[in-house]
Amino acid sequence: MDLDKLTWLLEGLLERTPGTRHALVLSRDGLKLCHSAGLRTDSADHLAAIAAGVQSLAHSASVEFGDGAGGVRQAMAEFYGGLLFIVEAGHGAHLAVITSEEADPGLVGHNMNELVEQMGEYLSTPPRASAGSA
């Protein structure tokens, strides 16, 4: 699946989910893979780094306080002016969505997970194969 197709899927998510503003797919080490058109490049870079950090901390919380099943279902932050949702999206990647305050968290989460299933196994960011290879 190429990045154009992925971007198209992200735009589709925003269209069918009221209140959503931006969607971004990032690698687990904090780099953007693709994002919706309304998100400026600088903001996309920033969101990718933020989302990777949040997911990693959420994972640490699950290790310390979870039931051992492993993994983070969803991380969410609610701030003045909006919400941030992050879910795992395939191997080595995450999907982040920014919404307005009015968005329905249940619907956003549902649609994000649905999108992740659509992206399915096509979406993965494999580890760097050999060190130093460009």
Partner 1 sequence: MSPEPAPAPLPATTEQALKIAVVGGFGVGKTTLVRSVSEIRPLNTEETMTRAGDGVDDLSGVEGKRSTTVAFDFGRITLDATSVLYVFGAPGQERFWFLWDRLFSGALGAVVLIDTRRMEDSWYAIDRLEVQGTPFVVAHNDFGDAEHTLDQIRAALDLDPAIPLVRCDARKRESAKKVLIALVQHVRSLVTAQAR
For partner 1, the closer CB: 27 or 118: 27
Minimum Å gap between C-beta 72 and partner 1 is 12
Beta carbons of 27 and 93 less than 8 angstroms apart: yes
Give me the residues paired with residue 59 across strands: none
The set of residues, in sequence order, having a beta carbon less than 8 Å from that of 74 and lying 6+ positions away, is: 85, 86, 87, 109, 112
Minimum Å gap between C-beta 27 and partner 1 is 4
E strand or H helix at 60, and its extent?
Answer: helix 41-65
For partner 1, the closer CB: 80 or 106: 80
Residue 109, classed as helix, strand or coil, is helix
Binding stretches for partner 1 (CB under 8 A): 26-33, 45-46, 48-49, 52-54, 56-57, 59-60, 92, 125-129, 131-134
For partner 1, the closer CB: 34 or 112: 34
Closest by Cα among 12, 70, 60 to 37: 12
Minimum Å gap between C-beta 62 and partner 1 is 12
For partner 1, the closer CB: 27 or 74: 27
Minimum Å gap between C-beta 75 and partner 1 is 12
